[in-house]
Amino acid sequence: MTDDICLDAAAPLVTARRLEACLDGLRAGGVDAVLATVASIEGARHTVGALGAWLARARRAGGGFRVATTAAGIREAKAAGETAIVFHLQGGAPVEADVDLLDVYHRLGVRVVQLTYNTRNLIGDGCLEATDAGLSDFGRKVVRRLVELGIVVDVSHVGVRTGLEAIDAAAGPVVATHANARAVCDTPRNLTDEQIRRLAESGGVIGLCAFPAFVTTADRPTIDHLADHAVHIGGLVGAEHIGIGLDFAEETDEDYDYFGYDPRWYPRPPWVYPDGIRGFADFQRLRPALEKRGFSRAEVAGILGGNFLRVFERVWG
């Protein structure tokens, strides 16, 4: 058993209610830690309730997991043979219009906050907004408070200008937990080369996303198509700024309508993930796929978890 940490930085499937259904796959794939999506487009009442459900679940012994709020906690979970769960807000809607709610979420264990979810909110414009108006004044206050609290700023699903302004406002490591390179697959959900360079300059990491429409326009995406993004990002900024955020989801037509997905960029479900990386149990297949493309074993270890852990340690303290 390696001491390396394997981490999936975007795991919306992992909820307090569905945890048991996911744990076997996570263990089979050697995934030591996940960022579990607590909320995205929902308000504070839903978000606090979802956090309460997680904390109630964590109180029950024998669950094979633990909530982690520090990098040391992630390592301790691995040493104990448990899966580390990190609470992730995949959108800024839970902040509503009250920056002080971030203090509440921090107290409840949230350690990563994504600013928008595709569309505009009070913080700024999402990646599917035609205006690309950037951060609001409120959004700048949100970013400043996240930095003060030691919560990682996530610019996945964020408009280009919003993301660049968030990097400037944070003045420290910013991540994209699940996003690919727009130069490889041209969709507004992926990052431009400028975003990739600026994010890397902040000290941050970009998590390779397996969502099929963001991997390739080919009819049958494969794990090698996903590796194309690693090669591009690594060539621009170095392997130390690449991570994994697979974003596995099993959404229905009802879910699709609930989240208001734009059919130009999100096909209706069912979503078929790339051959070779269809679920958590396939996580270790990323090792040979990346090594085949020229990444060293040490670089692959960083990509599979070490790089995100480095950022978390720096931001969380």
Q: What is the pLDDT along the chain (317 residues), one digit of tens a residue?
A: 357 999 999 999 999 999 999 999 999 999 999 999 999 999 999 999 999 999 999 998 677 999 999 999 999 999 999 999 999 999 999 999 999 999 999 999 999 999 999 999 999 999 999 999 999 999 999 999 999 999 999 999 999 999 999 999 999 999 999 999 999 999 999 999 999 999 999 999 999 999 999 999 998 999 999 999 999 999 999 999 999 999 999 999 999 999 999 999 999 999 999 999 999 999 999 999 999 999 999 999 999 999 999 999 999 98
CA dist., res. 196 & res. 156, Å (int): 12
pLDDT score recorded for residue 311: 98
- 132: exposed, middle or buried (Cβ count in 10 Å: 0-12, 13-18, 19+): middle
244 phi-psi bin (left φ>0, alpha ψ -120 to 50, beta other): beta
The residues, any chain, with a CB within 8 Å of residue 104's CB and separated by 6 or more, are 48
Residues 281 and 287 sit within 8 Å (Cβ to Cβ): no
Instruction: Give the amino acid at 39.
Output: A
What is the token pair recorded at 107?
């107290």
Q: 65: which strand partners? A: 83
Coil, strand or helix: which one is 187? Answer: coil
Instruction: Give the amino acid at 29.
Output: G
All structural domains of the chain = 7-316 (3.20.20.140)
Helix (H) or strand (E) holding 78: helix 71-79
Instruction: Give the amino acid at 139.
Output: G
The residues, any chain, with a CB within 8 Å of residue 296's CB and separated by 6 or more, are none
What is the token pair recorded at 227?
């590796």
| Residue spans of beta strands (DSSP E) within the chain | 7-11, 33-39, 65-67, 83-90, 110-114, 152-154, 174-175, 206-208, 242-244
The residues, any chain, with a CB within 8 Å of residue 242's CB and separated by 6 or more, are 205, 206, 208, 230, 233, 234, 302, 303, 307
CA dist., res. 206 & res. 222, Å (int): 19
CB crowding 222-243: b at 16 or more within 10 Å, else e:
bbebbbbbbbbbbeebebbbbb
DSSP 114: E
Coil, strand or helix: which one is 198? Answer: helix
- The pTM of the full predicted model, rounded to 2 decimals, is 0.97
Instruction: Give the amino acid at 68.
Output: A
pLDDT score recorded for residue 3: 73
Instruction: Give the amino acid at 97.
Output: A
